[in-house]
Amino acid sequence: MDTDSVLSAFLDDEAFDPADLARVLADPGGRALLLDLVALRTLVRDEPVTTPVRGPARVSRSKWIAVGFLAASILFGAGAAWLLPPLLRQRSSAGDEVPPTPTHVVTFETGVAAP
């Protein structure tokens, strides 16, 4: 077995003798090798980043429906605010009229049957 293959076992989270690792890392060449292997791992695992091409931002159909509903609500509210006061005024002025005169009066008395 290569003595410095302990570095690979260390990098790969596999079993190794710590004394072997200590021996390899005691040497500057061993430490440099470890750094190079870490960098190599970065190179091999790095995938070219491909960002999906996005078109201009689009508003979804549900958002359009929500916006339409909000606009309709505002219009309805404005229309109601415009039309209701005259109607209420009309109704309150109608309330001022004298009630009709009763044609007959029905009274109830205890023990007497209704006609």
Partner 1 sequence: MANNADAEALFAAHQPGLLRYLRRAVGHADAARDLTQDVFVRVAGAGAVPPTEDERRAWIFRIARNLAIDHHRRHDVRRAAHAGARAAADSPATQDTSLLVNEALAAIDALDRDVFLLREAGGLSYGEIAAACDLTVAAVRSRIHRARLALREHLRGPIVAVLTRK
Name the amino acid, one letter, at 112: V
Query: In angstroms, what is the minimal distance from the CB of 62 to partner 1?
Result: 30
Q: Which of 22, 27, 31, 36 binds partner 1 (CB under 8 A)?
A: 36
Query: In angstroms, what is the minimal distance from the CB of 39 to partner 1?
Result: 4
Q: Which of 19, 47, 96, 97 binds partner 1 (CB under 8 A)?
A: 47
Specify the residue for token string 């109601």: 80
Cα 82 to Cα 5: distance, rounded to the nearest angstrom: 86
Q: Which of 17, 27, 31, 40 binds partner 1 (CB under 8 A)?
A: 40
What distances in angstroms separate CA 60 from CA 48, 51, 72, 73, 97, one per listed residue? Answer: 31, 22, 19, 20, 56
CB-hemisphere CA count at 13 Å for 46?
A: 7
Query: In angstroms, what is the minimal distance from the CB of 12 to partner 1?
Result: 6
Footprint of partner 1 on residues 52-111 (CB under 8 A)? Answer: none
Contact 16, 6 (CB under 8 A): yes
By CB under 8 A, name the binding residues for partner 1.
1-2, 4-5, 7-9, 12, 14, 33, 35-37, 39-48
